[in-house]
Structure 1
Amino acid sequence: MSSFPYHTLMVQGTTSDAGKSTIVAALCRVLWQQGVKVAPFKPQNMALNSAVTADGGEIGRAQALQAIAAGLAPHTDMNPVLLKPSSDTGAQIIVHGKVRAEMDARDYHTYKTAAMSAVLESYGRLRAQYQAVIVEGAGSPAEINLRDRDIANMGFAEAVDCPVILVADIDRGGVFAHIIGTLDCLSASERNRIVGFVINRFRGDLSLLQPGIDWLEERTGKPVLAVLPYLHGLYLDAEDAVQSVQASRGAFRIVVPSLPRMSNHTDFDPLRAHPGVDLRFVRQGETHPPADLVILPGSKNTRADLACLRSEGWGRYLDKHLRYGGKVIGICGGFQMLGTSVSDADGIEGAAGTSDGLGILPMTTTLASSKQLAQVRGTCTFADADVSGYEIHMGVSSGEALQRPAFVIGGRGEGARSVDDQVLGTYLHGLFDSPQACSALLRWAGLESDIVVDAGKLREASLDRIAEMCMPLCAALAKASR
């Protein structure tokens, strides 16, 4: 049994992407390895990458990864409030795994009092069930304009009276300024609950950093608990941002349009890890490169992303791509775009109306207010292979295309394949995570390879790597509590 000194510990960051999600996952894995019954928790998350839980709800993808690190099935209590942006000013509000409303920023700020009740309810259940709860903050606690009714950072820490560690990313530069500036924006009680700092993503000679550490500790009276190294080659689900580094090793070319409201881009992580694949996200304004396979990703605002796709010339590109024998896969919102129309009569994702689809598959889609959330397993119709994944969508598709399904799930057809077998569409996210399905889909698209990418094994190996990295942090936390 571990001597971990805290029933609840919160990890906050000086900036977004400072490494909070990874450190929470690492601490969960270390404690789980030491026999501690531990659970992750994030009061409020804003992300377009989400996962379906065992209890039939929806949470942030990072919390699902942290649950795996802790040896648990993901549960809605681990992320009671999830915000999924649908525009620059509005988001879908998900509470305890279910859609509650669509709100703009001002309305949600007013709603935070009710959201805090949901947060404390979930936290209370986890606190009663587990020996330790490792909490992830959101963004930075130094956002002065968001301090009122805060439920994501110090507002939560103050409400439950838990200690906090503050993480700063040295790879960004200005690490000491980030830490000192953050402390200066906090109240006295908030500063007092910070037990120490973590400097993340360090590469270089530690002796050259030591004078800065000494200065920081003397100035603040708080210890630097750990300096964590920059680890290359990790296979971990990203919370939101698409990684800027492109995989470009293999000869088989896969192109993914990087849409403004693209959701669940973690679908493509197994393809990035395949040594035979060159996967490229193409952003707005970039030249569309030649490809063997084009994948249209999921979207939180299908009609808006469809309009962007058209304005960027992807319709013409896909027509030419298919004429020359290329393959196309559409996932969730990308699947809907392949049809002849997408209708949103109730304005669920934005302004009410109907948009012409790309017209590649003979089907139509109508957006509905109820969201389909399910973990599923089945088989491929184009190969002798199993598939697993999860559905997160608010649309219902119908038409001739569905008579040639891509998969069979629970005895029913799912998705579609074109008559010429060049186009495949599905509502399943995570379908490349299944080694059999990933290999079968790549063979369908034209890649002849015996290499099998097992996303689960890669994820587990990376969790063990970050756990080993964080062992000194656990030791330092135990020492600091004495």
Structure 2
Amino acid sequence: MTQGIGAQNIGAKGRRPALMIMGTGSNVGKSVLVAGLARAYRRRGLKVMPFKPQNMSNNAAVCADGGEIGRAQAVQAQAAGVLPSVHMNPVLLKPETDVGAQIIVQGKRFGTSRAREYGKQKAKLLPYVMESFCKIESSADLVLVEGAGSPAEVNLRSGDIANMGFAEAADLPVALVGDIDRGGVIAALVGTYAVLENIERSRIKSFIINRFRGDPSLFDSGISEIDSRTGWRCSGVVPWFAQAADLPAEDALDLAGGHGTQGVGGAVKVAVPVISRIANFDDLDPLRLEPAVDLALIQPGEVLPADADLVLLPGSKSTIGDLAFFRAQGWDVDLAGHVRRGGKVLGICGGYQMLGMRIHDPEGLEGAASTVAGLGLLDVETVLAPEKTVVARQGVAPAYAAQVRGYEIHLGRTDGADCARPFLQLEGAGADGAMSASGQVMGTYLHGLFGSDAFRSEFLRGFGAAARLAYEARVERALDALADHLEAHLDLDGLLALAQSRCG
């Protein structure tokens, strides 16, 4: 069935049906909508492929073909029932400072650039983006493309590869999403229309109102107002979808709300200091959703709670900078007190590096060449190096007699006396991580280990708690429920017709 559908919709130029989902701004729900649409159209028998030309996130995923992409595109691939590929997100920007980011192109480290300099490089990246899109398109019945930020950011239009620049290069129809929950959705949609050029306005064929609370009929006049001012038709009003919280978060802004909520009252209190360049924070999702866990996200200026059972130091895109940030909050003092009271500590990736005696940056990868003192809780040292480890792993946690599965994304190598007590044994890689002689302090390079239900269960058993969450099953249920939600509230037939119109 899939081959037939695809074959019927290949245009004269060999193009496949494709639709681009743009937003009036960041965090309006584009990523979740694309995931839900991918699952819904997959259930209709289509081979769906997600694509995002440019993403900015420190939450990354490792692909089967080697390399990394934004976590959101990996979730969209899961929704579509396909393996994630580096070509689904050919340009990934990973912020390292307030004004600069590491550039990942087709899964590999391409370089580092300041924001002003990056604007001049975008045109050079378009060929990579188009090459990846052609690869994705060639194997799909339907491509769902996600924009980044907003096309209304006309100050960034020159050389754009994320929104209208890419839509024009690939000749894509566009559906524009507005988030009514944040207010001003009419102004956001009509304002976008106002600042676009006529050729760009004509590329937008419909709009979607997302995250509506209450009676959607109350917004009928709003839909008419948007339609009359733009000429775009409404493809649906999507009510608030609470189960979106069960999907991995893409943006660090999702951590800005303070303490965790799902596990409040859980038997095990896990405190996570929210460092400034936190990375791969989807490590926290299984703990956030686990009823046995009270996950406390400690914001800058707050103290690490004295009643925490475990302090978890998360990954970081800038280990040395975040170590200084950690100390500036006084968290080093809080952490030392936590250990004296018998509390446990786990560092993942950058957090593991911080726990050691020293971090060496001889090539100045994170600024000037330097050596800085670590937190001194593990007898290990880290040397940062330009070669980046990006690989999926599986293995066992010997202390817990449990299988683990995850991935590594990091610069540098860590060695020292405490590595004689590895935290994990990984297939094809051997020992990973370290444990202190007391067993209180642990570190590992493996992201995603708490997504392994058996490991999480045994790990929490060590604190006297019983895990009750089947994590991957819960994510799958959320994706199915999201597809049901969109089937009920969006014109999926109309959106598919828009995608097919590209094939002429």
Structure-to-structure mapping, 1:112-131, within 5 angstroms: 112-131=122-141
Q: TM-score, normalised by structure 2?
A: 0.93
Report the secondary structure of 2:399's partner residue: coil
**Pairs within 5 Å for 1:3-402:** 7-234=17-244, 235-241=246-252, 242-243=254-255, 244=257, 246-247=260-261, 248-290=264-306, 291-402=308-419
Tell me the alpha carbon deviations over residues 435-455 of structure 1, each in whole angstroms, 9 at most, x when there is no partner: 0111122223x1421x33222
Mapped pair 1:410 → 2:427: yes
Q: Which residue in 1 is equivalent to 2:456?
A: 438
Quick check: 1:435–1:455 contact (8 Å CA) kept in 2? yes
Judge which range, 341-350 or 265-274, deviates more. Answer: 341-350
The answer (yes or no) to whether the contact 2:180–2:211 under 8 Å persists in 1 is yes
> Is contact 1:344–1:366 with CA below 8 Å preserved after alignment?
yes
Partner of 1:475: 493
Separation (CA, whole Å) in 2 of partners of 1:464 and 1:423 = 39
Task: Tell whether the 8 Å contact from 1:28 to 1:39 is kept in structure 2 after alignment.
Answer: yes
- Residue by residue over 1:251-278, the C-alpha shift from the partner in whole angstroms, topping out at 9 and shown as x without a partner, is 3211000000000111000001111211
Q: What amino acid is aligned across from residue 236 of structure 1 in structure 2?
A: L
Distance in 2 (alpha carbons) for counterparts of 1:57 and 1:447: 38
TM-score (norm 1): 0.97
Cα deviation for residue 479 of structure 1 reads 6.4
1:427 pairs, out of 421, 435, 445, with 445
| Paired residues of 1:301 and 1:350 also in contact (CA < 8 A) | no
Distance 1:478 1:61, change over 3 A: closer
Q: Secondary structure at the match of 1:382?
A: helix
- State the secondary structure of the residue aligned to 1:429: coil
Q: Are the counterparts in 2 of residues 367 and 394 from structure 1 also a CA contact under 8 Å?
A: yes
Moved more, 216-225 or 294-303: 216-225
- Name the count of aligned residue pairs: 480
- Deviations for 1:449-480, whole angstroms, at most 9, x for unmatched residues? 1x332221111111111111222331332566
**Post-superposition shift, 1:205?**
1.2
CA contact (8 A) 1:375 1:390 kept: yes
Q: Deviations over 1:345-381 (max 9, x none)?
A: 1111223211100000001001010100110000111
Residues 300 and 349 in structure 1, CA contact (< 8 A), matched pair in contact too: no
* 8 Å contact kept, 2:267–2:292: yes
Secondary structure of 1:470's aligned partner: helix
Structure 1 residue runs of 4 or more that deviate by more than 4 Å after TM superposition:
1-6, 478-482
Given that residues 226 and 476 in structure 1 are in contact (C-alpha distance below 8 angstroms), is that contact kept between their aligned partners in structure 2? no
Q: Percent identity?
A: 48
Superposed CA offset, 1:217-256 (max 9, x none)? 1222211111001011331112112342622231321100
C-alpha distance in 2, partners of 1:321/1:288? 8
CA contact (8 A) 2:421 2:436 kept: yes
Aligned partners of 1:11 and 1:135 also within 8 Å: yes
Query: Following the alignment from structure 1 to structure 2, what is the Cα–Cα distance between the partners of residues 31 and 76?
Result: 22
Find the aligned partners of 2:242 and 2:373 in 1 and give their Cα distance.
Answer: 43
Amino acid at match of 1:435: D
Aligned equivalents of 1:437 and 1:314: distance in 2? Answer: 28
Root-mean-square deviation (CA, aligned residues, Å) is 1.6
Indicate the larger mover: 36-45 or 246-255. 246-255
Q: Give the conservation status (yes or no) of the 8 Å contact 2:304–2:335.
A: no
Structure 1: runs of 5+ lacking an equivalent:
none
- Partners of 1:62 and 1:368 lie apart in 2 by 28
Q: Secondary structure at the match of 1:178?
A: helix
Separation in structure 2 between the aligned mates of residue 439 and residue 478 of structure 1, nearest angstrom: 43
Instruction: Quote how far apart the aligned CAs of 1:383 are.
Output: 1.5
Shift of 1:105: 1.3
| Contact 2:291/2:469, CA 8 A, preserved across alignment | no
Confirm or deny: 8 A CA contact 2:292 2:465 kept in the other structure. no
Q: Which whole-Å CA distance do the structure 2 matches of 1:160 and 1:413 have between them?
A: 46
Cα distance in 2, alignment partners of residues 214 and 180 from structure 1: 12
Distance in 1, matches of 2:91 and 2:20, equals 17
Equivalent in the alignment of 2:473: 457
